[in-house]
Structure 1
């Protein structure tokens, strides 16, 4: 794909609040060995790009920015994208208000917010472009239990308060031979509006055989739990609270050295791994057809019964205007997303994410090229 735009994209990334949580430092691994000549990123457009939203994609965004800087430096350009991991809900709000160039969100923009975005995207609409896939761990802190197995129904009952003890018969039935303590379960939930919460609750709705009855949404609906803000907040809370459990992106679970439950979809327990998550993503379907909005049919992932597929995978979208940007902003947004969708995917697994399958990368590149 060749992007032909003019202008210069200048600046330097503000990394003060963007250090990689997974390694405690700037991610420079991707910045070495990047073949700029093979990149279709033009490095052209407005001087400063801005984005905000999903904390789940923060580590991936750091890598995308680092890689983009490297590509553009080799092309004689200095680039800037500042990303604020303020939460998916805040990102969508800022996007609608034209306070940022694009948003990161763990939930597709839809309904009333999608209508509101049309005023910002003059002559166009908001497109949801899946750029980052992150397995969500059902992470727990339980001494002596390293290979916990759960399924959708039992997980739903833990997070709606029906199952209160770790040695509950329903948990024991999934873990024969394990010594489960007579200990209260403390559910740690997101206190902020979160696409991770929305995706987790959509998973419970799809996979719990009716045990989850309170629906989905960016706010937790289960009626129990102790709240913590952000992905880092819930992971740190579980790390410091024996007997606790949460839902959090794999990168944050890894960072805090939390155990992650295996999930039994009916075809046997499946451990969370790059391979098992990728297997679920490869079976993903889209709600629409053709080039443009790429909102996923999440039921095709969350409800999978395929052996060896880990179903609890969060898709993070970049929400962009299909039309309505000025020429410089359009060029910069397209250039950055082109880099992120291609060379930016290299080494993502090291940050706890799953790189885009080739079939999805092809669709994403076509949609990015179609931005007006």
Structure 2
């Protein structure tokens, strides 16, 4: 009766020997660590207007949404947030989900027909990977940002519709997809382009409208945008934005929308307040870009291998999984939290430290954090 538990123990042992054990590390509200691990790019999660908006909604609506969006979960706040997101992103319509993960699952499924060809980048986030898997369609996985491979995959597709699936700013290395070129390839083959804009929303584009807007594709009828509201907006939830007909289809048929309890009203209000702040915060975006450039320059000058940042993610190569864990732990011991990415989280065999820029961190603390990362780095420096 316990053989299944024995099997789990054996698997845990194998992961431990490979340096792939993961641990939960609860943090206190009074945590004084310099945070270069979270995704609060604009420092809005603790902005007084965001907190007050959430508190006011909590008093009005209570702790939870109490039901799915189609039962009792929709409030005037959800409608207002969807309207604001559509206006910001330049799309006809938008639909809010309880997480970005569920939004990606729902978007991929909604765009896939029985014979659809799915062309997906090898570095795509797990939520996009799982969305593709759930369709039951065998995907064509193209090498990272490889336009000739995408062109060949679309040319080889049958006459059935195709969907090109990508992130805008990739979550592990922080590099940017060639969205305009991907759109041109897709248009030439009557294919749709699905873009996860999670790490670009609030950071890139006019008024922070994201990577799709930065590429001049906002509102294009053959482009669908997804994003999470938990990064630059500092809240939680996800969104699918695109043509009104798609949103209607999702409301009628989307399982990850229909059967899921709605985003809590307090969180919805927080996201709406953060959106208004982010949209107007060009100064914060400029500071974020400057800090990302500074981080890359300091790390590479120290002999470390760091990918050039397109937005707020700076990825630094580590020797291996165990070395990445030890490096991240040394940083934390010195008061700096960084992301630690190892296989299978990474899209390739490389382990990395991932720094995410947060302009809510005082500048002197940020610069000290860079010193800590360099000082605790393994030597000799790892190469890609």
> In proportion to residue count, which structure has more helix?
2
- With structure 2 as the length reference, what TM-score do the two structures score? 0.25
TM-score (norm 1): 0.26
